[in-house]
Amino acid sequence: MPPTDATDAPDLPVTYRDIERARDRLDDDTVVKQTPVETSTSLGALVDAEVFLKMEHLQWTGSFKTRGAYNKICQDTDRGVESFVAASAGNHAQGVALAATKCGASSTIYMPETAPQAKVDATRSYGATVELVGKDFQETMAHAKAAVEETDAEFVHAYDDPDIIAGQGTLGTELYHGCPHIDTVVVPIGGGGLISGVSTAIKHLSPDTRVVGVQATGAETVHESLEKGMPVTLDEVDTIADGIATGGISETTLRIIERNVDEVVTVTDTEIAQAILLLLERAKQVVEGAGAASVAAILSDSLDVSGETVVPLLCGGNLDMTRLQTVLVHALTARQQILRLRIRIDDRPGTLQDIAGTIASFGANIHDVRHDRSVDDLEIGEAYLVFRVETSGESHAAAIVEAVESSGYSVENIATTLET
């Protein structure tokens, strides 16, 4: 556990006093509103804890990013800066765009070529010029920094900036005042700006509260960075949680994480997808992968919160509808509510009708079916039928498989992978 005075130590780049000053600057609910903290009895029952959800995905731009962006940009415009540049996969982009427009400045946002269209459109709607360059965040960042060198614009880093971190820290202060008796707060980590700010606030206001960070396994950098004592950057990231797919933290955020964060866990894309689905079903909330990572963590075996009061931060809700479709298919497949069966048959008339009738007799809907005949392990006159079937869950799926096998067919339950 970090010492109780850690957040005010002079060697840290951000202190609680910086966060308090940021709160004063953010005292405008047309820029940043106070988002609710709500109890989730469903999640609480699943993890044997009292679970409160910090609904930051309901922020004006759909994420916490406006807090840090406005805290920086309003100070810079007071000093005469008139234009800003940023690199972002989407959420930071919207925060910078809104903050710059509110402060009467212009903004140019560089986004990866693969950025969700919804985030691109939203960024433009807040007044920014958007440039789509680079296959990932690191490449996009390089383009943005090169562009700044040729202009008078100020670069707004997504996380490697004390003013950005202090602004994000206002979320921690707000959380504490909305739910002061917290045993554990769970914070997603991309570049580390959010957890740096939140942990600084929480450790000042409630030193005994456990601060847990969570990363996606396909973008994990914190563990190795802590072991080496220096930021580690990935060449490639692979996760559905694009909001935390930065591929690295900074020296600034690493120093704060070392001091203030008690534990860091990782979650898989499958766990994140299941958390998104669960939040839709139980909390009636649409949350993106980065925001759902905190819920995935408390549901995973990596983190024990039983008997505690725990707050997962739902830090973003900018979920592209195409990605939502992909995530839901993956999550439902993991639950076997979408079942993919590959059945080996003698390729003769009536076989498809026979198997389809067996499946239909269980009240299951066949979504689609195809024949595969050109497969190396098939004998002449054989084929595979591949069915995609909608079921009510594992028991229903198992009964269907058993019935088809009892009819004399060889059945393989095919696990699908996330599509991009």
Q: Which of 331, 348, 378 is the last residue of a domain?
A: 331
Would you state the pLDDT for residue 11? 79
Of 152, 160, 213, 158, the residue nearest 187 (C-alpha): 213
Residue 263 shares a structural domain with residue 182: yes
The residue range of the domain holding 114 is 65-155
Residue 160 falls inside a structural domain: no
Would you state the pLDDT for residue 36? 96
Residue 323 shares a structural domain with residue 199: yes
Residue 53 falls inside a structural domain: yes
Residue 224 shares a structural domain with residue 324: yes
The torsion angle over the Cα atoms of residues 262, 256, 272 and 245, rounded to 10 degrees, is -150
Distances (CA, A) of 231 to 74, 151, 155, 215, 244: 29, 29, 21, 15, 16
Phi-psi domain of 213 (left: phi exceeds 0; alpha: psi -120 through 50; beta: other): beta
pLDDT band at 1 (very low <50, low <70, confident <90, very high): very low
Burial of 419 per CB tally in 10 Å (0-12, 13-18, 19+) = exposed
Whether the CB-CB separation of 161 and 75 falls below 8 Å is answered with no
Would you state the pLDDT for residue 169? 98
Instruction: Work out the number of other CB atoms within 10 angstroms of the CB of residue 303.
Output: 21
pLDDT at 418 over 60: no
Report strand pairing: 410-413 vs 184-188.
Answer: unpaired
Distances (CA, A) of 5 to 197, 202, 259, 373: 15, 12, 10, 69
Identity of the residue numbered 346? D
Residue 53 shares a structural domain with residue 69: no
Distance CA(64)–CA(57), nearest Å, equals 7
Residue 340 shares a structural domain with residue 321: no
Mean pLDDT across 201-217: 97
Distance CA(369)–CA(348), nearest Å, equals 16
Q: Which of 155, 174, 196 is the last residue of a domain?
A: 155
| Secondary structure percentages of the chain, helix, strand, coil, to 5 | 45, 20, 35
What are the tens digits of pLDDT across the range 281-311? 999 999 999 999 999 999 999 999 999 999 9
Residue 420 falls inside a structural domain: no
Of 16, 63, 30, 6, the residue nearest 166 (C-alpha): 16
Distance CA(275)–CA(330), nearest Å, equals 12
What are the tens digits of pLDDT across the range 34-71? 999 999 999 999 999 999 999 999 999 999 999 999 99
SS3 of residue 115 by DSSP: coil
Distance CA(393)–CA(380), nearest Å, equals 36
Residue 185 shares a structural domain with residue 312: yes
Q: Which of 155, 180, 205 is the last residue of a domain?
A: 155
Distance CA(134)–CA(146), nearest Å, equals 13
Residue 161 falls inside a structural domain: no
Residue 349 shares a structural domain with residue 212: no
Would you state the pLDDT for residue 379? 87
pLDDT band at 82 (very low <50, low <70, confident <90, very high): very high
Distance CA(190)–CA(63), nearest Å, equals 14
Tokens of 193: 């700006």
What are the tens digits of pLDDT across the range 177-194? 999 999 999 999 999 999
Residue 109 shares a structural domain with residue 45: no
What are the tens digits of pLDDT across the range 211-260? 999 999 999 999 999 999 999 999 888 998 988 988 899 999 999 999 99
What are the tens digits of pLDDT across the range 110-168? 998 988 788 899 999 999 999 999 987 778 889 999 989 888 899 999 999 999 999 99
Q: How many domains does the chain have?
A: 3
pLDDT band at 373 (very low <50, low <70, confident <90, very high): confident
Residue 418 falls inside a structural domain: no
pLDDT band at 416 (very low <50, low <70, confident <90, very high): very low
Residue 180 shares a structural domain with residue 41: yes
One DSSP character per residue, 324-377 reads HHHHHHHHHHHTTSEEEEEEEEE--TTHHHHHHHHHHTTT-EEEEEEEE---TT
What are the tens digits of pLDDT across the range 315-369? 999 988 888 888 888 889 888 999 999 999 999 999 999 999 999 999 999 999 9
Would you state the pLDDT for residue 376? 81
Tokens of 234: 């990935």
SS3 of residue 213 by DSSP: strand
Residue 57 shares a structural domain with residue 78: no
Residue 267 falls inside a structural domain: yes
Whether the CB-CB separation of 164 and 192 falls below 8 Å is answered with no
CATH code: domain of residue 118: 3.40.50.1100
Residue 80 shares a structural domain with residue 227: no
Residue 1 falls inside a structural domain: no
Distance CA(320)–CA(322), nearest Å, equals 6
Residue 419 falls inside a structural domain: no
Least confident of 5-14, 248-257, 365-374, 375-384: 5-14
Residue 150 shares a structural domain with residue 246: no
Tokens of 333: 């497949």
pLDDT at 31 over 60: yes
Of 189, 251, 256, 254, the residue nearest 217 (C-alpha): 189
